[in-house]
Structure 1
Amino acid sequence: MTDRLAPLTEALLAAATKAGAEAADAIAVDGTALSVDVRGGRLEQAERAEGIEIGLRVLIAKRQACVSASDISERTIAEMAERAVAMAREAPEDPSLGLADPGELASAWDLAALDLADPAAEPAAAMLEDDARRAEAAALAVKGVSQVQSASASYSHRRLHLAATNGFAGGYARTSRSTSAVAITGEGLRMERDWAAESRVYQSDLPSPEEIGRLAGERAVARAGARKPKTGAYPVVFDERISAGLIGHLLGAINGSAIVRGASWLRDAMGEQVLPRGLSVFENPHRPRITGSRPFDAEGLPTEARDIVRDGVLQTWTLDLGTARRLGLKSTASASRGTSSPPSPSASNIALTQGDKSRDQLLEEIGTGLLVTSMIGSSINPTTGDYSRGASGFWVENGQLAYPVNECTIAGNLREMLLRITPANDARAHLSHVVPSLLVEGLTLAGE
């Protein structure tokens, strides 16, 4: 599967050893990406990119350096190794640096079970253009849509191979197929827009362009006549489209990089209540046909399912080898990296416990408040968790959508907000972050 990539990583490691590295790891990535944009019934842009990148990390006496290149000649590989070794000798010492022990490494995995690469043929550019045109036409067919800002279709196929001097070697491929549309209603200063987009690992799993375009159009039309909401303290429902962002703030706060710096509003929260009782956040990097799935992490450790939050109580940080060593803990096999950067911790597929009520039932319960469907900008203090973001959506009265709103600000504190969430039951299972609509009581709204 990784044909030319495995020999490239072997060559990089050999060059690093020859140049004087005590240890090293190497990554090689190649792939193809196609994208097509249409506007006004005409092809606006078509791009195709093919390429290969290689990256090398060398370690010398608790010092490291990373270099990368898109040239795979023997001369370039030798120069990369020499440069990396010279850089590492001048780098500051870091006692947490080091490859995984051989006994910790992943030794077997089932790529067929993960099903991350669609075996279907790469789509022709004409097929992508047709999808984008159909999405645009469907959006324009919605009464009240004045124009479509953009309609796009894309495809990518990416392969990677990782190897290290501790004996690890492995690789896998993944594919992605996407369609999107952004529709506009109104003219001039009364213009409002909204969007719809879908992405899947398998092309055959992707919804039709007509469905995506129609949804974008309907969402835009529903925003016609938007105005500022009332100012005050009100319950807020974060729509499923954007609710994963709230859980994303929690994931960021428990990232090992933030914890070791002390720059996290959850830095002292291990074993404490961070969500309401009954709610859990579960990570599963082995879900089939899901973008965030992977058989091993960027340091060659076997990925495993884990409870991040169990019954509302924080169970673990998200750690790579370096942050784990600094904290005196064990890596959670969460290392990610690119060709030009060292490993750093990152969560993959997560799911929040779903509730037993629909989003509309949550709206009925709040009576008066705000449904947020999109957010812009942010002012979030990573140390205190103070939260302020621009938002738009719909004002709710008597449990029903009353009118669209824009130009408002939502403010609160993330630690307090997350302890007050009530989940709906509308999370989409094909996403990497499976998070339903979330009700948060008592947020401060700044509108009229």
Structure 2
Amino acid sequence: MNTSLSLLADLLKTAQKEGADRADILFIQTQSVSYQIRNGKMEETESSEQNEIGLRVFLGKKSAIISTTELKPDEFPRLASQALAMAKVLPEDKFSDLLEASSPQRLSKNLELFDPTLPTNDNILAYITEMEEQALAQKGITNSNGSSAAYGKSHIILLTSNGFKGEYQHSSFSAGISVVAGQGPTMQRDYATHTTTFYRDLDTAKSLGLQAAQRALARLNPKKPRTANLPIVFDPRIAGSLLGHFASAIKGNAIARGTSFLKQALGRTIFPKEVTIMDDPTCKKGLRSRPFDAEGVKAAPLTLVEEGTLQHWLLDIRSANQLNLPTNGRASRSPSSPPTPTHTNLYFKNGSHSRTDLMADIKEGIYITEMMGSAINGLTGDYSRGASGFMIRNGQLAEPVAEFTIAGNLNDMFANIGLANDLEFRYGVNSPTLRVHSMTVAGA
């Protein structure tokens, strides 16, 4: 990596020597390995390693990006010249820029993002075999859709002509299984997955296999719910999808274009008072944690919603300039593309009720465990998705239901959310059990 840092610095200097006013370089090195078996037989194995280097140059208000996979000093003048030639013919963009030069930032060093563990082939195969065997051993499980595991490691370096230099490594380990219960037209499938930053934190193979089997068996013989307006409760593994829609609606580029249903919502109360939403790139072992963003802004937690009131947009430098606001370090990019705002570790803070209490007053409602399809209108907030799950009757989970649609408007849904206190950090976007007090159900 010392060699890469030195070569990247040389490329940056070459770009300036060739005439760039300002420039930055993003280097991403990735390594990944994955395995999948089905019914005890190897179905797929894949291994890849890749380097990608993106050079972004500025000529006044014009900019361009060129990417390559190799650091060859003899090619540096050609790469820089080609990027500059591209910039000259592109239109001006008065909002794109680099972060202003400032004193060196003290970047967090203790985010615990990298585990150097390299599982052996035998260890991975033993894990996914045990996971599948555990699932298939459950009475009523009739087939496997596949048992898989993967690990990946990445090294990120960012250099800018304004003096920023940062690097970090990130690792991930994941496992998952999908199985089938029953036979013929009545069969049902379900799954279990887990992804962690450290290998030792991964769920056991037995627990994932058993979880997938139990979920599939519980879905057997589903009915269609009646068409009605009903309370809807979202299981934590899919409740985060509502947070994803919220994040998309508060991205600075969507706000600047006027293409979000929340474009006038800053400073307004859009959730109940007990709702707080955090975006925190500094979570230890977080799946989307990072010490700095793709433009060299130091990572810091952001309270997006406090006591139900929207406090911030998600901003990179360009969208911040468009909105006449300071960036809040939410830039993300690949080496071959310009920055765009996005979230990091996004989550609802816990509510004050248990899941049992959240459902206790529901005489008839639906508990959603899986969703499919998507008809979300970003301009109006209109929402419609296919779903499956379980009826709630007198506060208790009852028979499985499937083949129905839930619909509403995200403005109304956000304003009528209730949260349980069972938050777990298992994904990049996390939510406790979540209730929307009334939605339209289109069923039988």
Tell me whether the two structures share a fold, i.e. TM-score over 0.5: yes
Aligned to 1:72: 71
**Secondary structure of the equivalent of 1:50?**
strand
Q: Structure 1 residues 136 and 301 mapped into 2: Cα distance closer, same or farther (>3 Å)?
A: same
The answer on whether the counterparts of 2:349 and 2:423 sit within 8 Å (CA) in structure 1 is no
Q: Structure 1 residues 374 and 8 mapped into 2: Cα distance closer, same or farther (>3 Å)?
A: farther
TM-score by length of 2: 0.97
**Secondary structure of the equivalent of 2:115?**
coil
Aligned to 2:390: 394
How far the C-alpha of 1:430 sits from its partner, in A, is 4.6
Q: Structure 1 residues 323 and 163 mapped into 2: Cα distance closer, same or farther (>3 Å)?
A: same
Letter in 1 for 2:40: G
How far the C-alpha of 1:76 sits from its partner, in A, is 4.1
Letter in 1 for 2:213: G
1:183 and 2:182 equivalent? no
**Secondary structure of the equivalent of 1:131?**
helix
Distance 1:395 1:106 in 2: 56
Aligned to 2:380: 384
Letter in 2 for 1:370: I
How far the C-alpha of 1:12 sits from its partner, in A, is 2.5
Q: How does 1:78-117 map to 2 (within 5 A)?
A: 78-103=77-102, 107-111=105-109, 113-117=110-114
Q: Which residue, out of 418, 423, 429, partners 1:427?
A: 423
How far the C-alpha of 1:36 sits from its partner, in A, is 0.5
1:137 and 2:137 equivalent? no
Q: How does 1:282-301 map to 2 (within 5 A)?
A: 282-301=278-297
The answer on whether the counterparts of 1:195 and 1:216 sit within 8 Å (CA) in structure 2 is yes
Q: Which is further off, 260-269 or 92-101?
A: 92-101
How far the C-alpha of 1:75 sits from its partner, in A, is 4.2
TM-score by length of 1: 0.96
Letter in 1 for 2:148: S
1:162-198 per-residue CA deviation (whole Å, 9 max, x = no partner) reads: 0011111110001111111001112232221111001
Aligned to 1:118: 115
How far the C-alpha of 1:347 sits from its partner, in A, is 1.3
**Secondary structure of the equivalent of 1:204?**
helix
How far the C-alpha of 1:410 sits from its partner, in A, is 0.8
Q: Which residue, out of 253, 266, 269, partners 2:249?
A: 253
Give 5+ residue unaligned stretches, structure 1. none
1:372 and 2:368 equivalent? yes
How far the C-alpha of 1:273 sits from its partner, in A, is 0.7
1:24 and 2:23 equivalent? yes
Distance 2:75 2:231 in 1: 59
The answer on whether the counterparts of 1:26 and 1:57 sit within 8 Å (CA) in structure 2 is yes
1:101-121 per-residue CA deviation (whole Å, 9 max, x = no partner) reads: 112x7622232x1010013x3
Distance 2:426 2:439 in 1: 30
Aligned to 1:14: 13
Q: Which residue, out of 393, 396, 399, partners 1:403?
A: 399
The answer on whether the counterparts of 2:243 and 2:347 sit within 8 Å (CA) in structure 1 is no
Distance 1:3 1:159 in 2: 12
Aligned to 2:149: 153
**Secondary structure of the equivalent of 2:2?**
coil
1:42 and 2:41 equivalent? yes
The answer on whether the counterparts of 2:11 and 2:73 sit within 8 Å (CA) in structure 1 is no
Letter in 2 for 1:80: L
The answer on whether the counterparts of 1:9 and 1:162 sit within 8 Å (CA) in structure 2 is no
The root-mean-square deviation of aligned C-alpha atoms, in Å, is 1.4
How far the C-alpha of 1:46 sits from its partner, in A, is 1.1
Distance 1:430 1:218 in 2: 19
How far the C-alpha of 1:47 sits from its partner, in A, is 1.0
1:214-252 per-residue CA deviation (whole Å, 9 max, x = no partner) reads: 101110111111232111110000110100111111111
The answer on whether the counterparts of 1:106 and 1:300 sit within 8 Å (CA) in structure 2 is no
The answer on whether the counterparts of 1:106 and 1:301 sit within 8 Å (CA) in structure 2 is no
Number of residue-to-residue matches in the alignment: 444
Distance 2:387 2:402 in 1: 7
The answer on whether the counterparts of 1:34 and 1:125 sit within 8 Å (CA) in structure 2 is no
The answer on whether the counterparts of 1:374 and 1:392 sit within 8 Å (CA) in structure 2 is yes
**Secondary structure of the equivalent of 1:118?**
coil
Structure 1 consecutive aligned stretches of length 4 or more whose deviation exceeds 6 Å: none
